Structure 1
Amino acid sequence: MNNIEKVIYTAKTHTVGGREGSAKSNDKKLDITLSTPRSDRKGTNPEQLFAAGWSACYLGAMGLVAKKLGILLPKDVFIDAEVDLGMIGEAYQLQTRFYISLPGIPKDIAEKLTELAHQTCPYSKAIKGNINVSTTLI
C-alpha cells in the first residue's frame, strides 16, 4: 500500500456510543444521532452513511471521468445505493448494489463511465476485492 503524497482534506469526527450514540464533526457541519438498523430510535446507521458517502463520491468520480472523456453528464444523473449488512458464518460483512441512471447516455458509454468511475473513486478503491459490489444501469 502506498502512502498519500499530498493530503487534500482530512475529515475529523468524534463518535460516542457506537451504533446507539452520536457523531459530530470538528467543523460542526455534521451532528447526527446514530441508531442500529430497524431500530425505532431516531437517527441513522453506519450503513446508510456509507451508502450516501460512497454514492456521492462515486458520482463525483463519474463527473471527473466524463470530463476527461469529453462527455457531458446529464443534470438528472443519480445513484440509488443499497448497502447490506449481513453475516458469513459468525463474521459481519457488507455487500453493495449501485443502480445508476445516466439518461441520454448510450449504454456502451455509460458502462465505460461506471467502470472508470470505480477505478477513480477512493471509496471503490478502498473496498475493491473486500466486498461484493454490483453496478446496474437503469
Structure 2
Amino acid sequence: MKIFYKTSATATGGRSGVTTLGDGSLTFEMAPPGGKKTGQNPEQLFALGYAACFDSAMDLTAKSLEMELHDARTTVEVGIGQRADGGYGLDLDITAHLPGLSPEDAQRLIEASHQVCPYSHATRGNIDVRLHAITEGN
C-alpha cells in the first residue's frame, strides 16, 4: 500500500488521562463514559473520525455514481459493550442524511461508500456496522 499521509497521537493515563496529536495541534482531556470527570472518551473521538471519513467517501462515491448531493451529512453512533467472551467490543450505526435522493439511490450510495471508506475497511469483519439512509426530513 502506498501511504499518502500518517499522523500520530500519544495518550497518558488512558480513559482518565490526556491524549495529544503528535504535532501538538490538538489535545483532549479524557474521561470514561458516564463518569463525573469532564472530557472526551475514545468512542466519541472514533465517532468524529468515522463520520468525517464516511462523509468524504460519500462525496467521492456520489461523483462516481453521477449523483448530486445537497446538504448531505453523516452521523456515526458508536457503542461499547462486553462481548460474550468477556472482552469488550464496539457497535456502530452509520446514518447518512441524503435529502433529494430517492431511497434506492441513497441505499446504493451508502453501500458503495462503505466499500470505499478507510474506516469501513478497518472495521469490516471486526465490528457490527449497520447502515441507514434518511432521504427526507433531514
Of 103, 109, 112, the match for 2:108: 112
**Structure 1 residue 100 displacement after superposition:** 1.6
TM-score by structure 2 length? 0.91
> Given the alignment of the two structures, is residue 66 of structure 1 paired with residue 65 of structure 2, yes or no?
no
Query: What is the CA RMSD across the aligned residues, in angstroms?
Result: 1.1
Of 5, 14, 20, the match for 2:16: 20
User: How high is the sequence identity, in percent, across the aligned residues?
Assistant: 38
CA distance in 1, matches of 2:6, 2:107: 31
Q: 2:88 maps to what in 1?
A: 92
CA distance in 2, matches of 1:97, 1:85: 12
Q: Give the secondary-structure state (helix, strand or coil) at the position aligned to 1:85.
A: strand
5+ residue gaps, structure 1, are none
CA distance in 2, matches of 1:128, 1:33: 29
**Structure 1 residue 16 displacement after superposition:** 0.7
Of 1, 5, 16, the match for 1:9: 5
CA distance in 1, matches of 2:95, 2:116: 18
5+ residue gaps, structure 2, are none
TM-score by structure 1 length? 0.91
Q: 1:48 maps to what in 2?
A: 44
C-alpha deviations, 1:43-79, integer Å up to 9, x for none? 10000111111111000001110111222211x2112
Equivalent AA in structure 1 for residue 52 of structure 2: A
